[in-house]
Each structure stands twice: as C-alpha cells, then as structure tokens.
Structure 1
Amino acid sequence: MTRLQPLPGGLPERFHVAHAMEKGASRTRLRASDLSAPFHGVRSLSLGEADTILDRCRSYVPRLAPGQFFSHETVFVLRGLSTPEWPYVPRIHVSAHRPAREPRTHGVVGHRLQTREPAIDVGPEGMPIENAVRAWRQCGRLWGLDDLVAGADALLAGRHPIASLGDLEEEVALMGDVRGGILRRSLALARPGVRSPRETHLRLLLVRRGFPEPDVNVDIFSTRGEFVAEIDLAFAAWRVAVEYDGRVHAEDPRQFARDADRWAAIRDAGWDHVRILNHHLRGGGAPAVAMVRAALIRAGWRPGL
C-alpha cells in the first residue's frame, strides 16, 4: 500500500487548496482519500459529512474572498435565532457589496449586493456575518410572513435586544420593501419581549381566529403582591394565561415538580392557566384555539363583543 506523504505543518483542520500548495503540498496529495472536499477548492481533515449549517460554514471559511461574508438566513442560524421550521431547510448564503464579486459554487447561494457601506459583525469563531437587521430584511425574499414576524420578534427580544423596532423600520425605509410590502406587514405584527418562535406563531394564530390580542410576557402577582410567574401570553382583562410548553424538561422529574408548583401558583393567583403543547398546534392549531376559547368563555368573554 502506498504510504501518504505528510501534509505540510501548520495547516488548519479546513484549508484552501491554494494555501496548502503554497506550503508545498502536491495536487496528488490533496486528492488523497484521507481528505474530504466539502467545497470546491477546500480540503478538510475530517472525513465525516458536515451535518449542520455551522459545520458547513466552518468548511466554507477558507474560500471566503476579501469583502465576502455570510448573510441572509445564514446569519439567523449562526446567531441561534428563529428560522422557519422543518421541512424548510435554511441554506448557506454568502454576499459581497459591489464592486466585489459574490461566490459562484455548488452548495452556496451567492449575492452581489448594492453598493453600500458594509456593516459586518463577528459571528461564531470569528466568521464575518451580515448585520442582523440587514439580514432580516434580506430574508424578506425567502420567508413567509409569520416567519418574518418571528425573526423580527427574535431581534426585539431579551433584556438587551439585538435591534429596536425603529432599527428595522429604518432599514426597510432606506432599502425598500419587497414582495408586496411583506416586511412592513410583518413589523406591524412584531412585538418586543417574545421568547420563542412558537410563542409568535401561537399569538398570530389566536389573533387571526378572532381573539383579543394578548399581552406578551406579563408578570403576575399573588393577592399579597408577591411575584408568581411571567406569562407568555396574557388576556389580562379575563385573567387567562396562555403558555407554550416545549416539553424541554419532560424527562426531568425535579424540573417537572417545579413547573407543577408554578402552575398551581398561577391558578391560586386567580388566573386560568392554559398550557399549549406541540401537538396542539399541528394541523392548523385547532386544539390550541379550542382550549383558549373555552378558557376565555369561562372567564366571561364572548366572541364579537
């Protein structure tokens, strides 16, 4: 069996073919079976197929030319923000502002953007990524309305939001809307404070079914004024609390016990507590709608009044 020549020292796990050849590697050595080729012109010491966008972005980094950066929905993936759910599969998008050239290679969607001052942020492991506000607007050509609302909610969430509603509105005003005004429509539906895309989709579902719009992430207190819980969606006038339960802790008995005590405390504070699970949202969400409707009617709400 032919023994492979060692690779030049100092090569990272993923490297550009040209860089390796500058260090003395031959073309024959770079075609050997101990290396994988995740992208044209890139070699990896790992033979396993990259199965996440982060892995594939790592593999693409050696190909990034000056002025190129990850953009569009790839930014949301790399930041751990909301993206459309399966069966939608986000792709790797790489952009460059004119006059720089966008990439043209298999496995990557290239974009040549308008001439504009770049606003590149630093992503995971130092990857250059588009500014999140700009990336959200870029997703306007890719995502449906509800997913754009969830994406905007993700940028507005938390104690230290990535962006403000004004930032998003300014970006749309400056660069223009797309697809019949879908960005402005999504901003009209976005709300600060939402903690998950499932909360966004549940809120939109309930409002479209004729319910009053619930407040987002409301603190409720006991009759003695003690903090009880923060509620995902609150119909305060009827004291109905609606929460999406992702069942992350379903296999943790201690967490389940803490959750059960919390649910009891919410009820003791005089609120009707409605827990929406994943299966309640399937098939158009009819079970979730029915559960919330029943709770509101018990509390005195009447449709159309």
Structure 2
Amino acid sequence: MRTPLPADLPRVFRGADAVAHGALTEEQLRGPAVQRVLRGVYARSGTALTHDVRCEATGLLLPPGALVTGRSAATVRGVPLARRQDPVEVLVPEQPLRRLPSGVLVRRCRSLPAGEPWGSTALAPPLRMAFDLTARHPLPAAVGHLDAVVRAGLVDLDALHAWLVGARGPGVRAARHAAQLCDPRAESPPESAVRVHCVEAGLAVTPQVVVRDRGCFVARVDLAVDGTQVAVQYDGQWHALREQLEADRRQLRELREAGWEVVHVTVALRREPDTLVAAVHAAIARQVRR
C-alpha cells in the first residue's frame, strides 16, 4: 500500500528539502505520486504544469532578490504572453550564480529593482517587466507584448515613456521604438504585428475602426488605412472554423458593398511582411480606381 502524500505539501517543492524535512521519502520522490517540474523541483502528479507553475518552481531555485520578468511576469499577472513550454524569464544579480536548469532564461542586472512578492519568488515591477517585454524581442513581437499589457492595465504607457527617458544601456533604444508604436486598441499580438509591418513600411493605419454605410453598422475592422476605404483583417487559426468562416464571408460581402477593399492576413502572410505590404498597396490601388 502506498503512503499518501502529506496534505500540506506545497504546490511545488524542492525534492531535497521535502526529504530532509521528512515530508517525503526518497521512494515517494521517485514514485508515481509526484512529477518533476524542473531539475530538483517537483509537484504532485496530476498538477497541470502551466507556465505559472513553472515560474513558481523556478522561484525555488533563484538567489535572493531575483525576479520573474518579461512574458513570464505578464502571464502570472493575467496576460498570457508565455506558452506553457516557453522559458521562464528571470532577472538575477550580476554576482556568480549557480547554474539554473534548462527552461529558464536568465538576464543579469547590475541593480535589481524591488519586486512584488509572489509565491516562492517575486515579480519584476511593471515598468521593468515592460522593458524586458520590448528590449530583447523583434519589433513586431515587442509592440504586441506592450499593446497587450497596456490594454490590460498592467503598465501605464506615459509612465513607461518617462521611465525610458532616463534609462541607459542595451535594449533601451529598441524599447523606446516599441513604446512609440504602442497602441492598446489592438486586440491581439498578431494584430499588433500586422500594424507594425504596415507602419514601418510607411502606411498610416488606425486599429479597430467601425465601418458604417449610410449610418448603419457594417463591421469593425482590425486596421483601416487612413484616408482610404481599405481594411486589413488578421485571420487567426480560429477563423478557419466553419461558423466563423461563414461570418467572415458575410462581412466581406457587406464591406465590399459599402465600397471597401479588404486584405485578409493569414498566419503565413504575417510572416512575409513585404508580401503583406504589397497586398495592402494593391488594395489601395484597386480602391482608388473604383
């Protein structure tokens, strides 16, 4: 008969600590009742290994003062920018550090800010989190991250601009560029990326524009090219569902009847910015000829 696990066992725990304090035996630690989250850190079997859980597990291995940051901190705070398998992003002091397990992305910082306590560790303050969301990612992804956290109310954009004015060091210029392009009206990071590709190509676009025809609502489009009747719509994977596909076709027909040209951006097209921008320019040319 298997010995049950203690009821007060934490959600995640260091195996060596659990054995040393008599909470578990070596046999239990190797048995089916627990599962490994990271090297040396475990959880009960059946615990969903979400990114949040992996962040908490990582916290047990971090030195004092270290912080969870970037996409990981945003995900813990309710904006799911990190997938389950993505590396846990952490800030650590510059002093020598024992090797952390795979699955942890380490960034060193000479002067760590005070963090917000969370579980076994602490979260980077919002402005530092925003910096790490933007400074080390390609511009389209960086803006998408920032749009999402500003939209959710986690980061004040004016405060971020002010914070970046006095910031120095690697990544600051990239973060400032992303902050200049931030627009929290965007409803998803892929939509933000499409907008960035357009803006960087010299196209002035506005997100979430309501289209009306003779005073009647027609649609709300992801992006509208300023001064034209050209809409740019991002079609994520869910748009392939039959019901959504039918709704998209109906909306396309109504937009065209209202005199609009529509560019549908697929996942594949989003990965080819030059082709995407060329499609928008072609739509503008067609709309002008009407």
TM-score normalised per structure 1: 0.75
1:278 Cα deviation after fit = 1.9
Out of 11, 15, 18, which is 1:17 matched to? 15
1:271 Cα deviation after fit = 1.8
Which is worse superposed, 266-275 or 174-183? 174-183
Q: Is the 8 A contact 1:235 1:241 kept in 2?
A: yes
CA distance in 2, matches of 1:270, 1:220: 10
> RMSD of the TM alignment (CA)?
3.6
Out of 159, 163, 169, which is 1:171 matched to? 163
Which is worse superposed, 170-179 or 188-197? 170-179
Out of 240, 252, 258, which is 1:263 matched to? 252
Q: Is the 8 A contact 2:65 2:93 kept in 1?
A: yes
Aligned to 1:226: 216
Identity %: 24
Equivalent residues in 2 for 1:86-97 (5 A)?
A: 90-95=86-91
CA distance in 2, matches of 1:180, 1:67: 23
CA distance in 1, matches of 2:17, 2:188: 42
Q: When you count strand as a share of all residues, which structure comes out higher?
A: 2
1:33 Cα deviation after fit = 3.4
Which is worse superposed, 74-83 or 199-208? 74-83
SS of match in other structure, 1:181: helix
Letter in 2 for 1:203: R
Aligned to 1:39: 38
Change (3 A) 1:294 1:230: same
Change (3 A) 1:266 1:98: same
Which is worse superposed, 8-17 or 214-223? 8-17
Letter in 2 for 1:70: V
1:228 Cα deviation after fit = 2.4
Change (3 A) 1:151 1:17: same
Change (3 A) 1:285 1:116: closer
Q: Is the 8 A contact 2:134 2:143 kept in 1?
A: no
1:229 Cα deviation after fit = 2.0
User: Between Structure 1 and Structure 2, how many residues are aligned?
Assistant: 285
CA distance in 2, matches of 1:186, 1:66: 31
Residues 213-243 of structure 1: CA distance to partner in whole angstroms, max 9, x if unpaired? 11122122121x2232222111241211111
Q: Is the 8 A contact 1:140 1:148 kept in 2?
A: yes
Aligned to 1:106: 101
1:36 Cα deviation after fit = 3.6
1:57 Cα deviation after fit = 2.5
Equivalent residues in 2 for 1:93-242 (5 A)?
A: 93-95=89-91, 104-107=99-102, 108-111=104-107, 113-115=109-111, 118-120=114-116, 128-157=122-151, 161-179=153-171, 181-210=173-202, 212-223=203-214, 225-242=215-232
Q: Is the 8 A contact 2:206 2:225 kept in 1?
A: yes
1:27 Cα deviation after fit = 5.4
